[in-house]
Structure 1
Amino acid sequence: MLEKMLIHVPHASLYIPEEYIPDYDLEVLSHEMLVMTDWYCNELFDCEAEMVAMQVSRLVCDVERFRDDKDESMSRLGMGLYYTKSSDKKVFRKFSEEKREEILTRYYDPHHGRLAAAVAERLKTHGECLIIDGHSFYPVPLPYELDREDNRPDICIGTDDFHTPKALVEKWVDYLKGCGLSVKINSPFAGALVPMEYYMRDARVGSVMIEVNRRLYIDGKGQKTADFDRVKKVLNDMILMAE
């Protein structure tokens, strides 16, 4: 069941290796862990499909950014794959070219290698692969965010013109509205991750991003609310619709 599918969860980890802790302003780091982590997304998106989840916090290495800062628009805000600035644009981590290279070798490249290998296996076995990129987002725009619209939806679906199945998105929108949830396409976040080996080259690789508004399932301290299980069921039912 769901053999053709791959769940990608890049931002749920809270783990920061001990040797990197001295690089951070710890007071700012505590706040960033709260607001920037995709809390419990590894649980929300857990289903019978294989999951590729990042091992360390995005504050160590953000694998959703391009490898080269010249290609990554967020790098000008100090939020490329190696964050040096916080969500409210404060410097909170010392930059070290040596450590950036170490993190590339230790975390970034192996993660993308695992993701690409999992896609290749599905293409070999089933002739197609659908990546579901699982995230959450803050109920109000954080200072660094480009989308300043206050009226944020319950669910955001991120799409790619080449890789996202349009019929699936339409089906999901109808389903979510039937559940009484508000939904927007590519707002407040846009796009869908595809390994560079396949990006804009192989239509057999599909990808769609699901972003869940945190107000649906956690409180302001990152604790699960009573609605957590209901939200998880909604997401799991969505995933099953993609089978």
Structure 2
Amino acid sequence: MPAFELLPGAPESPVLLHVPHSARAIPGDVRAGILLDDAALERELDHITDAHTAELAERAAGLAELAPWRFVNRLSRLVVDPERFPDEREEMLAVGMGAVYTRTTHREELRPGDTDPGPLVERYFRPYAEAMTRAVAERLAATGRAVVVDVHSYPARALPYELHGGGPRPPVCLGTDPFHTPPKLLDAARAAFAAYGETGLDSPFSGAYVPLEHHGTDPRVEALMIEVRRDTYMSEPGGPAGPGLDRLAAALGALVDAL
């Protein structure tokens, strides 16, 4: 199994659906460094995985008039979290959730605290980041712009690792970047998800993924994070998807068409 995949869309589409946290797969040698027994690891995967988001992106792509491109992580974020920067996100490092996690969603020990993240960063994180950078560059070259839409989910009730879990938890939260999320992109997302009521903004999660090469410097790269509350489409914490997934796919497909 590849660590990640770039799934082609229409050549003229600027949209890149980014799905970083949907998988549960962990290579055997990486599993050996995790302290949880098998049952505890399965429970942790139930909580930490954005279940069914790869399927959500696939369905939305199939519904869109102009198929977006999709970049999908095929490994669990317990291997590395591709949306953490190794030298940033000090808040998350403080709770053992930097690029390589040492703590679980319930703040229990996942790996020894003195684990060297370097080997996993070199083996998994850097190739992922480089491939995403290339994917964005290809959309820029082909269309003159790139729109990265992160596809995430979050639990109905805050988990202990959340540093800002006390705020609103709407059915759909939009995470923004002050440089890369223009008002027209935010307006398009609000319109696409209007059936869910007023969408939240940067609560309980904030930010949007942009490759470092373009971050804060290239306005042709736009970015938005879509965070969907899991009880709207699945049985929590790690159960099957329900009919709500079709409704979400239609909304996400409508957003893609608007971009």
TM-score of the pair, normalised by structure 2: 0.86
Residue 23 of structure 1 aligns to a residue whose secondary structure is coil
Matches within 5 A, 1:1-243: 1=10, 3-24=13-34, 25-26=36-37, 27-46=39-58, 47=61, 48-68=67-87, 71-95=89-113, 97=115, 100-149=117-166, 151-177=168-194, 179-220=195-236, 221-242=238-259
Measure, in 1, the Cα distance between the counterparts of 2:187 and 2:100: 35
Distance 1:112 1:72 in 2: 19
Number of corresponding residues: 239
| CA distance in 2: counterparts of 1:185 and 1:199, whole angstroms | 20
Do the aligned partners of 1:141 and 1:150 also contact (CA within 8 Å) in 2? Answer: no
1:109 partner amino acid: R
Is the 1:28–1:92 contact (alpha carbons within 8 Å) kept by the matching residues of 2?
Answer: no
SS across alignment from 1:105: helix
Kept in 1, the 8 Å contact 2:192–2:251? The answer is no
User: Which deviates more from structure 2 when the two are superposed, residues 201-210 or residues 166-175?
Assistant: 166-175
TM superposition shift of 1:181: 3.4
Identity %, equivalent residues = 33
Amino acid at match of 1:156: C
Return the offset for 1:187. 0.8
RMSD: 1.7
What is the CA deviation profile of residues 74-115 of structure 1, one whole-angstrom value per residue up to 9, with x for unaligned ones? 0111110111100111112235655x2221122101111110
Give me the whole-angstrom Cα distance separating, in 1, the residues matched to 2:182 and 2:240. Answer: 34
Larger displacement relative to structure 2 (5-14 or 146-155)? 146-155
In the alignment, is the contact (CA less than 8 A) between 1:9 and 1:133 conserved in 2?
A: yes
Q: Aligned partners of 1:146 and 1:97: how far apart in 2? A: 23
TM-superposed deviation, 1:145? 0.6
For the residues of structure 2 that align with 1:65 and 1:151, how far apart are their CA atoms? 23
* Equivalent residues of 1:154, 1:216 under 8 A apart: yes
Structure 1: runs of 5+ lacking an equivalent? none
- Output the CA distance in 2 between the equivalents of 1:241 and 1:60: 34
Shifted more, 2-11 versus 167-176: the winner is: 167-176
Query: Per-residue CA shift, 1:35-58, capped at 9, x if unaligned?
Result: 110101111112121111112100
Which amino acid letter does the alignment assign opposite residue 126 of structure 1?
Answer: T
SS at match of 2:193: helix
CA contact (8 A) 1:129 1:205 kept: yes
TM-score by length of 1: 0.92
Tell me if the contact between 1:28 and 1:86 (Cα under 8 Å) persists in the aligned partners. Answer: no
8 Å contact from structure 1 (residues 11, 54) kept in 2: yes
